[in-house]
Structure 1
Amino acid sequence: MSNIEKEIEQQREEAREVCGSEGTESQDCAVAWDTVEELQAEYAHQRSEKPKKTSLEQYCDENPEAAECRVYDD
């Protein structure tokens, strides 16, 4: 589990505790769940980003003249 996933779980527990003690209509309850939603949105954004380059792509970026990196046009 990644750090952000752990943080989401921790914030969920905290939101449940706040809403349980102060009521679901309280401002603190709304803020706690807003925090959870923001973390979930950030997690989704991180997962949707372009995948990192493969080791071959990294190598070719550093060594474009290498035989493995040649690109032939038809």
Structure 2
Amino acid sequence: MAHATGNVTIEQRLNTLIESAHDVCSTNGTISDDCAAAWDAVEEVQAEISHRRSAVKTSLTVFCDDNPDAPECRIYDV
């Protein structure tokens, strides 16, 4: 599932950041501040992708939001 940001999808942005992180780390060393910052940027975009995927509602979720008392929407404590 791709969400467009301008003409670039978030997945394309992630791939670009990963390539950049590899380049920065190979140039500046894997324990450099620049390397850490590059991987932090990758992690932020990965978190955003994960957040977007978890925010997608299923038809059952939408139904239950509108009909919380319906039998198929009941939640039982075990």
Q: Structure 1: any 5+ residue segments left out of the alignment?
A: 58-74
Overall identity of the aligned pairs, in %: 46
Max Rg structure = 1
The yes-or-no answer on 1:12 pairing with 2:18 is: yes
Higher relative contact order (CA 8 A, sep 6+): 1
RMSD: 1.9
Count of residue pairs the alignment pairs up: 54
TM-score, normalised on structure 1?
A: 0.66
Q: Structure 2: any 5+ residue segments left out of the alignment?
A: 3-8, 64-78
Q: Which has the higher strand share?
A: 2
The yes-or-no answer on 1:48 pairing with 2:54 is: yes
TM-score, normalised on structure 2?
A: 0.63
